Amino acid sequence: MIRELTKTSLWLVLLLALLLPVSALAMENEDCLGCHNDSDMVGEELFINAQVFDHTVHAEMGCASCHDNVTEEHPDDGLTPAKAGCLDCHENINEDYAGSVHANNASCGDCHNPHQVRGLTEVSGHDLNQQCAVCHESADMVQQHDEWLPQANLHIAKLPCISCHTESDDYEIVLYIIQKESDKVLGDFELSALDDLQKLGGEKGAQGVIDLNGDDFISLTELRTFHRNPANEDLRLQATLMPSDVSHKIEILEDRYDCSYCHAAGPEAVQTSYVALPTAGGGYQRIDVEKGAVLDALYGTPDFYMMGATRNASMNIIGLLIILGGLVMPIGHGTLRFFTRKNRKH
């Protein structure tokens, strides 16, 4: 009897030991968010948007990883929870950052909200620039860049600041689905929300709007179908040029004053592209697009054209034929004219 009891308790202990760490971790985030996800309860300053936070890598680590002295009595214990320093984990970033002009003007938290962090491939270019716009207002930036940069408004509106202001070995084209805000013929466009795309995608979900066969790869044919589909009349693809690597060394790079850094790169430079689709929690998820899609004549990416880099080869051939057509008279007529020149001697 005693042996049996010991056996049962042993099993119980084992079961508890297995379950406890998992449940404790999961419980803890939930416990914290039980109050901190409610701004009425904790106030704006301590509010954490659980929907956004849940999808960050920081959430996977758990609240207690950074706020390690929070007790079960919190907040009744009157203790202010400790905060881990960003550099405790992200020490390597500091090397880059310390050398940049930002180091003396902004701390990590001025640009990044640790409860909303995402990797470079999970944010839209628009979101990236929101961080910069806190200090560098868009209109001011257009004005400043306009002093030397052709189409400054276009560059500022469509490019992430870091595409020019950080070093990267490579760049890639990222396409976002945008949709018309209103029924007006000349209505403005905004980034499509997950809900809207899910409605359009039906059973296949948001991805089904553009990745028609659901193979996590968008072919040129799928891009063309997307653009020609009358149901997508109000949808477009907006493109931006993103650095492949992200650096915290934000600086003014002399070589970017030379337009040919991006524009004379030739078609070889713009072969890699992705479609970024919104995910739950306000992030983005990238799907590979067929190589060279942005070079398609009309329907691959109808709204994306980068002078000097994304010209289409068939269009060049048609252009050449037209120009050669202009040489028919000088060459053809000129030759006959030469051979019949005696007829015109009066």
Partner 1 sequence: MAEKKRIYLQPKPVRIWHWLNALGIVTLIVSGAQIRFPEHVSVLGSDYKSVILLHNTAGFVVAISFSIWFFYYTFVARNMHKIYLPSRDDLQSGLLRQAKFYFLTYFLGWQNPHHPTPENKFNPMQKSAYLAIMFVLVPLVSLTGILLTNIEPLRNLILMIGGMKILVGMHFLLACSLCAFLFTHVYLATLGHTPLAYFKPMFNGWEEIEEHEDAVTSH
Name the residues that contact partner 1, by CB under 8 A: 148, 150-151, 153-154, 157, 185-189, 236, 258-260, 263-266, 296-305, 307-308, 311-312, 315, 318-320, 322-330, 333-334, 336-337, 340, 343-346
Residue 343: count other Cβ atoms within 10 Å of its Cβ.
8
Which C-beta is closer to partner 1: that of 83 or that of 291? 291
We find the least distance from the C-beta atom of residue 296 to partner 1, in angstroms, to be 8
Instruction: Report the residue number, 65 or 312, with the smaller CB distance to partner 1.
Output: 312
Cα separation values, 342 from 5, 335, 337, 345, Å: 125, 13, 9, 5
Beta carbon of residue 263, minimum distance to partner 1 (angstroms, whole number): 6
R_g over Cα of the chain: 29
Comparing CB distances to partner 1, the nearer of 153 and 168 is: 153
Closest distance of CB 346 from partner 1, Å? 7
Which among 23, 64, 26, 32 is positioned nearest to 50, based on CA atoms?
A: 32
Q: Locate all alpha helices (DSSP H) within 191-345, ordered by sequence.
A: 194-201, 220-228, 260-263, 313-325, 334-339
Which residue lies nearer to partner 1 by CB, 20 or 297?
A: 297
Q: How many CB atoms lie within 10 A of CB 129?
A: 21
Asked if 189 contacts 179 with a C-beta cutoff of 8 angstroms, the reply is yes
Nearer to partner 1, 26 or 328 (CB): 328
Peptide bond into 75 cis (omega under 30): yes
Q: How far is the CB of 320 from partner 1 (least distance, A)?
A: 8
Residue 220 beta carbon to partner 1: minimum distance, rounded to whole angstroms: 13
Cα gap 306→169, rounded to integer Å: 19
Cα separation, 26 vs 49, whole angstroms: 17
End-to-end CA distance of the chain: 136
Q: How far is the C-alpha of 278 from the C-alpha of 284, rounded, in Å?
A: 4
Q: How far is the CB of 264 from partner 1 (least distance, A)?
A: 4
Asked whether the beta carbons of 232 and 299 are under 8 A apart, the reply is no
Residue 135 or 324 having the CB closest to partner 1? 324
Whole-angstrom Cα distance, residue 35 to residue 26?
15
- The Cα–Cα gap between 87 and 52 comes to 23
CB of 186 to partner 1, least distance (A): 4
Nearer to partner 1, 157 or 287 (CB): 157
Beta carbon nearer to partner 1, 50 or 178: 178
Query: How far apart are CB 225 and partner 1 at their closest, in Å?
Result: 16
How far is it, in rounded angstroms, from Cα 113 to Cα 95? 20
